[in-house]
Amino acid sequence: MAQGNRLCVKMMATIGEHSLFVPEDKVLVGVSGGADSVALLMLLREAGLHCEAVHCNFHLRGEESDRDEKFVRDLCRKLSVRLHVSEFDTEAYARSRGISIEMAARDLRYDCFERLLADWRLDKVAVAHHRNDNVETMLLNLVRGTGLKGLTGMDYRNGHVVRPLLDTSREEIEAYLAEKGQDFVTDSTNLGTDAVRNKIRLELLPMMQGINPGVFDTLQDTLRHLSDAYILYKVAVEGLKGKAMGGNRIDIETLKALPAPRTLLFELLYGYGFNGAQVAEIYERLDGEPGKVYESDEWRLLRDRGCLWLRRKSEVYRCLCDVLPLDGFVQVAPDMDFSISRVHCVEGFDIPRGKDTACLDLDKLEYPVTVRLVQEGDRFVPFGMQGEKLVSDYLTDRKKTLFEKERQLVVCSGDAIAWLVGERPDERFRIDGHTTRVLVIQCQRRCRTETQNP
């Protein structure tokens, strides 16, 4: 069997095993002009798939970048393949976002893919990563430090993006092109040894081949074993996650009693954007003083007594009301309403009880009566006590978490706190033997949907 036929059969086996395409799919093929992408475009056309090509010119290599674009234009014209070309000022994009050139190029490339899929009603994006790339990725992750997922290499399929050549070697690709008499371009940056990946490709892997000539096959088999192991690992982790975490709360003692708690904590927090160094510090300080807050891009994590609490940064808790009416119903916070009424204090008046109800002597109040979030330095005289107490100290004694303190409301009479909502009224506004009119405020909690694991 000719090399071309063998390679097409091998690629189709990969496509079938991993369900990468269905026959009617319209495929966008990323074509840089290098051997891998040229071979991928030709093989997919041989397989009978509807193919269109996309070339991204990042303008990072001067005349060489323009040479690559011209090569791809000529190739697609020869193959009668529709070509989409996108040009980018990659360096400006990277500067504007404070990211590396490599990350900027990746973002621009995949944004371009998604846009073309939508605009041209295409189904999949095929990229030309092959077996050698996969092995290099595993070794790169190993050198830089990674979890088990990083040792499984690339996915055959990631959303709309598919990798049909992931079981194919670079040597097979180049032999296929030689048989077809098809040339390609070479990116000169792949020949230097300044980048870590290039060092792995040009120095480390040849050294490993000197020890084991079949090292690529060996490492490819290892990748498959690790991928299967990772699937089993994820099943086990998902089962353990539910034991340690409920809603946005991780119970520390339960976590510590489970197998591999440090690794489990990483799996619990990784999806919230916390990195390995942060998780290591959090784990080391599980039994430390409560109150420490850690932040990822979108989440805050609070280490409290016996548990870890997660809250989105975007969940800004605010007071929705300022001045309270003296009768009526009003929403004062996203999860709280007040029912307010004035009552005459006559013989037989039954004072409502409970932390969610405050009965205040109306004639002791200064108008307007207001509601707000607690502020630093706030003081009040807790009902039943004589002296003032810092609200923050009172809430600490009540074992409130920092997140709970940030959501604490107070009802004020002038500058004085009349009620620490949901806790205690102020002694100065209590009902006594001289009270004739009472302001009754009842707090009604709204149901809140807790954010679950991302």
* Residue 46 pLDDT: 94
* Residue 451 pLDDT: 39
Mean local confidence (pLDDT), 347-351 = 70
The confidence band for 3, taking pLDDT boundaries of 50, 70 and 90, is: low
Q: How many domains does the chain have?
A: 3
Residue with tokens 């991204």: 56
427 found inside a domain: yes
For residue 441, give the nearest of 415, 409, 406 by alpha carbon.
Answer: 409
DSSP string, 136-168: HHHHHHHHH---TGGGG---SEETTEE-TTTTS
**Do 402 and 437 sit in the same domain of this protein?**
yes
For residue 430, give the nearest of 380, 364, 368, 366 by alpha carbon.
Answer: 364
**Do 77 and 170 sit in the same domain of this protein?**
yes
* Residue 194 pLDDT: 61
Query: Pick from 169, 186, 221: which residue ends a domain?
Result: 221
Q: Is the peptide bond before 368 cis (omega within 30 degrees of 0)?
A: yes
How far are the Cα atoms of 33, 41, 72, 127, 380 from residue 160, in angstroms, in the given order? 22, 17, 23, 11, 59
Report residue 213 as tokens: 């000539």
Q: Which of 9-13, 148-152, 238-242 is the least confident region?
A: 148-152
**Do 119 and 182 sit in the same domain of this protein?**
yes
Report residue 91 as tokens: 């360096």
**Do 195 and 252 sit in the same domain of this protein?**
no
CATH number at residue 107: 3.40.50.620
234 found inside a domain: no
Query: Pick from 257, 281, 312: which residue ends a domain?
Result: 312
Largest CA distance in the chain: 106
**Do 260 and 289 sit in the same domain of this protein?**
yes
Task: Please report the beta strands in 366-415, taking only residues with DSSP state E, as ranges in sequence order.
Answer: 369-373, 379-380, 389-390, 409-413
* Residue 348 pLDDT: 64
CATH number at residue 337: 3.50.40.10
Report residue 363 as tokens: 């004639």
Q: What is the mean pLDDT of the chain?
A: 91
Dist CA 295 CA 300 (whole Å): 5
374 found inside a domain: yes
Task: Name the residue range of residue 166's domain.
Answer: 3-221
**Do 334 and 414 sit in the same domain of this protein?**
yes
The confidence band for 1, taking pLDDT boundaries of 50, 70 and 90, is: very low
Q: What is the pTM (predicted TM-score) of this model?
A: 0.66
304 found inside a domain: yes
DSSP string, 79-108: HT--EEEEE--HHHHHHHHT--HHHHHHHH
**Do 285 and 345 sit in the same domain of this protein?**
no
Report residue 19 as tokens: 């369900």
For residue 346, give the nearest of 268, 218, 435, 241 by alpha carbon.
Answer: 435
* Residue 453 pLDDT: 38
**Do 291 and 390 sit in the same domain of this protein?**
no
**Do 47 and 107 sit in the same domain of this protein?**
yes
pLDDT above 90 (res 122): yes
319 found inside a domain: no
- Cβ 304 vs Cβ 286: under 8 Å: no
**Do 176 and 305 sit in the same domain of this protein?**
no
pLDDT above 80 (res 352): no
Query: Pick from 179, 206, 221: which residue ends a domain?
Result: 221
Side chain identity, residue 210: G
**Do 91 and 192 sit in the same domain of this protein?**
yes
DSSP string, 168-229: S-HHHHHHHHHHHT------GGGG-SSSHHHHIIIIIHHHHHHH-TTHHHHHHHHHHHHHHH
pLDDT digits 0-9 by tens, 22-66: 989 999 999 999 999 999 999 999 999 999 999 999 999 999 999
pLDDT above 90 (res 417): yes
322 found inside a domain: no
**Do 24 and 123 sit in the same domain of this protein?**
yes
223 contacts: CB under 8 Å, gap ≥ 6: 134, 135, 138, 151, 152, 153
236 found inside a domain: no
450 found inside a domain: no
